[in-house]
Amino acid sequence: MARYDYDLITIGGGSGGVRASRLAAATGARVALIEEGRLGGTCVNAGCIPKKLFSYAAHFASDFTDAAGYGWDVGARSFDWPRLIANKDREIARLNGVYGRLLDAAGAEVIFARGRLVDGHTVEAGGRRMSAQHILVATGSRPVVPRVPGAELAITSDQAFHLERLPQRVILVGGGYIAVEFASIFNGLGSRVTLVHRREQMLRGFDDELGSVLAEEMAAHGVTLRLGSQIARIEREKNALAAHLESGEVLAADAVMYATGRAPNTRDMGLEQAGVALSDNGGITADEFFATSVPSVYAIGDAIDRMMLTPVAIAEGAALVQALFKGGPRRMDYENVPTAVFSHPNVGTVGLSETEARSRHGAVKVFKTRFRPLKATLSGSPGRMFMKLVVDPGTDRVLGAHMVGDGAGEIIQGVAIALKCGATKSQFDATIGIHPTSAEEFVTLREPVAWSR
């Protein structure tokens, strides 16, 4: 008789939990995955995927405008929000099914219920108690809204994916990637958008110039930016909302959306009672091999609040399964994790920002360019590309690559491989460009603009 019902119970069927459960089950381990919502978690249901579909939808607006300079007359345009929502929902339902089938094929049992930790080896879900040798908490994160009077009138990204109507006037609150992405989405779809951010700089944590360049580009594309501003309260006025800024200015809107950060989903699931230590913001404290303060309980993904990104949660899940079921620990490598912001224009980044590079390496060489892409010559689009390389003058290694412009995510993914291989600036220079592309600028940046200590 086995001592436990399962070898692994995973709580949370999102990016990390599904990957870990599938990989573990594929080794022959007896795995149960407990999910209270829909398979795929935030990324599939209320994050990356629907967001990117919305972003594609929004992009058509500038494509139609740009087409004129290329000789196209695009007829009357109209946008059907309910059709976009219905098509997006259909695609997500398809993905939910794919995830279910993958788990099934691997031999993992899926239990649709809310999971609660009873002790280090026991979980309760759907009125059932079950035991496991290992328990994995992969419960993700949720949006955090500041305590502002009237904040309950506002929405977060969770509701933005299900609005019945496209709001004509939208206020986005926040300056992180979700705020700028949704500001660009609503702007592209035809809403009048104001972005209110308490800091002067958007995209904190990224290279500073990315936030400044993006602010200029978004303004050029019609988004009104209120940087260094805060909402003091929100009131309902007839059929609209009135957002009172601390400056006294009042902005009218049909929707106010907060994108002011996310906190790990760790409440009311028995973690503290079972002895699992949490940090101040509710993140599960885990060591480099994802072990929590209770030896048989592990945690990955947004719940440990390291890097809230889907590929990171997936890689953490894979590393954990390697340690538990495939013969020994493997360290997760958080260096040079590339990421993109699907604002309009896109932002792509990998490696160290100029500021981080300076503080770690002292002197740095900076190469950068801002230019009008070829496509904009005939279209007349106001957009400009921005590219920047940060280089260690001692070793010649490229420490960071940053970009604002069309296709930034696609381009930076390739550059990230070079950084992961430890590429030097001379190797970038020795690489032949693909002409005519914007990406070729990354291998033709010759003169440093700054070399400072």
Residues that bind ligand FAD (CB under 6 A): 11-17, 34-37, 41-43, 46-48, 51, 114-115, 138-140, 157, 178, 265, 269, 301-303, 308-311, 313
We find the least distance from the C-beta atom of residue 45 to ligand FAD, in angstroms, to be 7
Residue 381 in contact with residue 62, Cβ under 8 Å? Answer: yes
Place of tokens 């705020």: 179
Parallel/antiparallel/unpaired status of strands 128-137 and 6-11: parallel
Task: Tell me how far, at minimum, the Cβ of 399 lies from ligand FAD, in Å.
Answer: 22
Q: For ligand FAD, give the closer residue by CB, 138 or 445.
A: 138
Residue with tokens 């490598």: 333
Residue among 56, 55, 72 nearest 64 (CA): 72
Q: How far is the CB of 20 from ligand FAD (least distance, A)?
A: 9
Shortest Cβ 187–ligand FAD spacing (Å): 16
When the beta carbons of 47 and 348 are compared against ligand FAD, the nearer one is 47
What's the CA gap between 123 and 33, in Å, rounded? Answer: 11
How many Å apart are CA 407 and CA 412, to the nearest integer?
9
Distance between CA atoms of 79 and 167, rounded to whole angstroms?
Answer: 13
- Residue 443 Cβ vs ligand FAD, minimum distance, rounded to whole Å: 26
* Interatomic CA distance for residues 33 and 441, integer angstroms: 47
Among 244, 4, 281, smallest CA distance to 133 is for 4
Angstrom distance (rounded) from CA 449 to CA 205? 22
Which of 104, 249 has the CB closer to ligand FAD?
104
Pairing of strands 450-452, 364-371: antiparallel
The residue ranges of DSSP E strands in 246-346, in sequence order, are 250-253, 255-258, 262-264, 297-299, 339-341
Which amino acid is located at 331 in the chain? Answer: R
Is 15 or 336 the residue whose CB approaches ligand FAD more closely? 15
Residue with tokens 């099914």: 97
Q: Least distance to ligand FAD from the beta carbon of 301, Å?
A: 2
Name the closest residue to ligand FAD (Cβ): 14
Q: Which is nearer to ligand FAD, 11 or 24 (CB)?
A: 11
> In terms of C-beta density within 10 A (0-12 exposed, 13-18 middle, 19 or more buried), how is residue 260 classed?
buried
* C-beta closer to ligand FAD: residue 20 or 415: 20
Nearer to ligand FAD, 256 or 391 (CB): 256
435 is annotated as an active-site residue = yes
Residue 180 or 389 with smaller CB distance to ligand FAD: 180
Which is closer to ligand FAD, CB of 315 or CB of 390? Answer: 315
Catalytic annotation, pick one of 121, 134, 402, 435: 435
CB atoms within 10 A of CB 165: 10
CB 314 within 8 A of CB 16: yes
* Residue 96 Cβ vs ligand FAD, minimum distance, rounded to whole Å: 10
Buried b (16+ CB within 10 A) or exposed e, 113-151: eebbbeebbbbbbeeeebbbbbbbbbbbbbbebeebebb
Q: What is the C-alpha separation between 310 and 88, in angstroms, rounded?
A: 19
- Give least dist CB 401 to ligand FAD, A: 18
Closest separation between CB of residue 226 and ligand FAD, Å?
21
Helices and strands, number each (H, E), in the chain = 12, 22
Report residue 79 as tokens.
Answer: 């946008």
Backbone angles phi, psi at 313, to 5 degrees: -60, -40
Grouping H, G, I as helix, E, B as strand and the rest as coil, residue 390 is strand
Catalytic residues: 435
